[in-house]
């Protein structure tokens, strides 16, 4: 391949890569694509208002232009895929991109422009364009915090979701049993009870289905209280995860600012063992940043009790 073409191809790849903070052109391209996505979504949204029918031609033009930009970006990413997957051949790297998250989102974004928009399925595919924003945002720190927290707390979140599902299924069966005879047209089957359980447990409360028997009302009161408590569990887990993650990042940022010459390693002897980090800081003028305990690495807090033979990474004289 011509060296000029190779150089151009590499330069294009560097520009269209998302989240490259060191490349000004790449950052500007990210901003341009984000504006393009917003414009595309906004005009699709505005096209649903019959009062704006006189502007439909303009909206359609904006949609076509922005979709055209999506197409150009999509083909450029296919063309430069061998730089994204350097271990594969050109053909395999392009196939790998086509089946990747980015490739699928790009393809589903432009498909509606080439098919009959009257089909419901293709109109629904327009919503996929929103995921373009996720693709850009996930490369930056703000989105990474969210994904990191959700991944680290995935087991606890899945457990709490399982509890919610069990509560909803049990509630639907109980409500169906209590209300079916009194309201056979409303609580026709267990799914009707499930719809009521979802709207109650998740505190939406549509009010289209509700109990009328004494037993049903009593059960509804209990289920509503349980729903408030159970739904709060994943919220608390995620909130605690955010606090932990921001604490870690704040500590990491502080470590990067330290002068390595000021940092020492202190092995905990009998004199220091049994004392807390807070006591050490006050009495020994030592700011602890890390505690090595066997194979564990601990981010210290004020109440952490030191054990003999711990190694404390700290700065003395603060």
| Interval 67-82 mean pLDDT | 89
pLDDT of amino acid 253? 53
- How far is Cα 166 from Cα 36, in angstroms, rounded to an integer? 43
Give the tokens for residue 58: 């303009």
Contacts of 249 (CB under 8 A, 6+ apart): 145
pLDDT of amino acid 280? 79
Lowest mean pLDDT among 6-10, 67-71, 137-141: 137-141
Indicate the SS3 state at residue 2: coil
Contacts of 29 (CB under 8 A, 6+ apart): 15, 16
Distance of CA 206 to the CA centre of its chain: 28
pLDDT of amino acid 1? 58
Closest CA relative to residue 296, chosen from 285, 283, 286, 309: 309
**pLDDT tens-digit series, residues 166-223:** 888 888 888 888 888 888 888 888 888 888 888 777 766 566 788 888 988 898 888 8
Domain ranges of the chain: 3-139, 154-244, 259-316
Indicate the SS3 state at residue 276: strand
Give the tokens for residue 137: 């945002």
pLDDT of amino acid 95? 92
CB count in 10 Å sphere of residue 77: 21
Lowest mean pLDDT among 25-39, 77-91, 284-298: 284-298
Check pLDDT > 80 for residue 109. no
Closest CA relative to residue 139, chosen from 14, 17, 12: 17
Lowest mean pLDDT among 73-77, 232-236, 284-288: 284-288
Distance of CA 287 to the CA centre of its chain: 35
Contact 238, 149 (CB under 8 A): yes
Q: What is the CATH number of domain 259-316?
A: 3.30.70.1450
Predicted TM-score (pTM) above 0.75: no
CA–CA distances in Å: residue 97 to residues 71, 120, 220, 253: 15, 28, 51, 34
| Interval 77-98 mean pLDDT | 88
**pLDDT tens-digit series, residues 112-158:** 666 645 444 555 555 666 666 666 555 555 666 777 788 888 888 88
pLDDT of amino acid 113? 66
pLDDT of amino acid 162? 87
Fold exhibited by the domain 154-244: Helix Hairpins (1.10.287)
**pLDDT tens-digit series, residues 249-306:** 665 555 455 555 567 778 888 778 888 888 877 777 777 878 888 777 888 877 788 8
| Interval 230-259 mean pLDDT | 69
Contact 211, 222 (CB under 8 A): no
């Amino acid at each position: 391949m011509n060296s000029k073409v190779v150089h151009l191809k590499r330069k294009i790849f560097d520009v269209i890569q998302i989240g490259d903070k060191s490349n000004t052109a790449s950052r500007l391209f990210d901003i341009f694509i984000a504006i393009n996505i917003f414009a595309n979504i906004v005009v699709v949204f505005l096209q649903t208002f019959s009062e704006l029918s006189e502007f439909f031609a303009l909206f359609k033009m904006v949609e076509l232009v922005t979709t055209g930009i999506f197409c150009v970006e999509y083909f450029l990413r296919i063309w430069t895929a061998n730089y994204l997957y350097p271990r594969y051949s050109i053909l395999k790297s392009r196939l790998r991109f086509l089946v990747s998250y980015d490739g699928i989102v790009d393809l589903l974004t432009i498909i509606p422009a080439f098919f009959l928009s009257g089909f419901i399925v293709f109109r629904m595919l327009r919503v996929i364009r929103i995921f373009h924003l996720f693709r850009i945002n996930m490369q930056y720190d703000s989105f990474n915090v969210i994904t990191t927290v959700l991944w680290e707390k995935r087991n606890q979140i899945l457990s709490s979701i399982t509890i919610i599902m069990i509560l909803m299924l049990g509630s639907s069966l109980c409500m169906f049993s209590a209300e079916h005879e009194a309201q056979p047209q409303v609580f026709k089957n267990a799914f009707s009870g499930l719809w009521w359980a979802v709207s109650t447990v998740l505190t939406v409360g549509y009010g289209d289905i509700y109990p009328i028997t004494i037993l049903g009302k009593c059960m509804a009161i209990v289920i509503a209280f349980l729903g408030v408590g159970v739904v709060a569990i994943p919220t608390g887990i995620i909130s605690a995860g955010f606090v932990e993650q921001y604490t870690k990042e704040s500590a990491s940022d502080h470590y990067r600012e330290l002068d390595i010459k000021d940092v020492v390693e202190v092995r905990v002897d009998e004199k220091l063992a049994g004392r807390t980090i807070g006591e050490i800081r006050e009495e020994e003028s030592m700011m602890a940043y890390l505690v090595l305990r066997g194979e564990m690495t601990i981010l210290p807090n004020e109440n952490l009790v030191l054990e003999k033979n711990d190694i404390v990474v700290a700065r003395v004289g603060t």
